[in-house]
Amino acid sequence: QVQLVESGGGLVKPGGSLRLSCEASGFIFGDYYMSWIRQAPGKGLECVSDISGSRNVIEYADSVKGRFTISRDNAKNSLFLEMNSLRAEDTAVYYCARGRPHSSGIRDLWGQGTLVTVSS
């Protein structure tokens, strides 16, 4: 079954850290760009970070640059997001999403999301 399953969300205090994971199945994970996209409660969608299949292209939103690190393990079909120095404004549902080959900006598969709440 072609799917993405996120995990690792939870409640964390401001300044804290959290590591999100996304496990892929049903497709050749290493062939695809992957993204983390977040949605604050009641708000729209924001691209947080992207990584190419070979890991040679990595992008971050300005809002998370220097605090978040994206990585992937193609042998384990897994995508990660290491989040440090968390702020209240990072509170959101975090989705992992797959980018189509040769058109990485088209996200054709999304996980169900994992909620990150940053609060004291």
Partner 1 sequence: DIQMTQSPSSLSASIGDRVTITCRASQKITNYLNWYQQKLGKAPELLIYGSTTLQSGVPSRFSGSGSGTDFTLTISSLQPEDFATYYCQQSYGIPNTFGQGTRLEIK
* Contact between residue 49 and residue 70 where contact means Cβ atoms under 8 Å apart: yes
Q: Give the position of tokens 């990585």.
A: 71
Q: Which two tokens stand for residue 81?
A: 């997001």
Instruction: Choose between 42 and 75: whose C-beta lies nearer to partner 1.
Output: 42
Q: Should residue 110 be labelled a site residue for partner 1 when binding is judged by CB under 8 A? A: yes
Q: Give the shortest CB-116-to-partner 1 separation in angstroms.
A: 15
Q: Which of 9, 27, 30, 46 binds partner 1 (CB under 8 A)?
A: 46
* Contact between residue 93 and residue 21 where contact means Cβ atoms under 8 Å apart: no
Q: Should residue 10 be labelled a site residue for partner 1 when binding is judged by CB under 8 A? A: no
Q: Which of 32, 68, 80, 95 binds partner 1 (CB under 8 A)?
A: 95
Q: Rounded to whole angstroms, how far apart are CA atoms 120 and 108?
A: 36
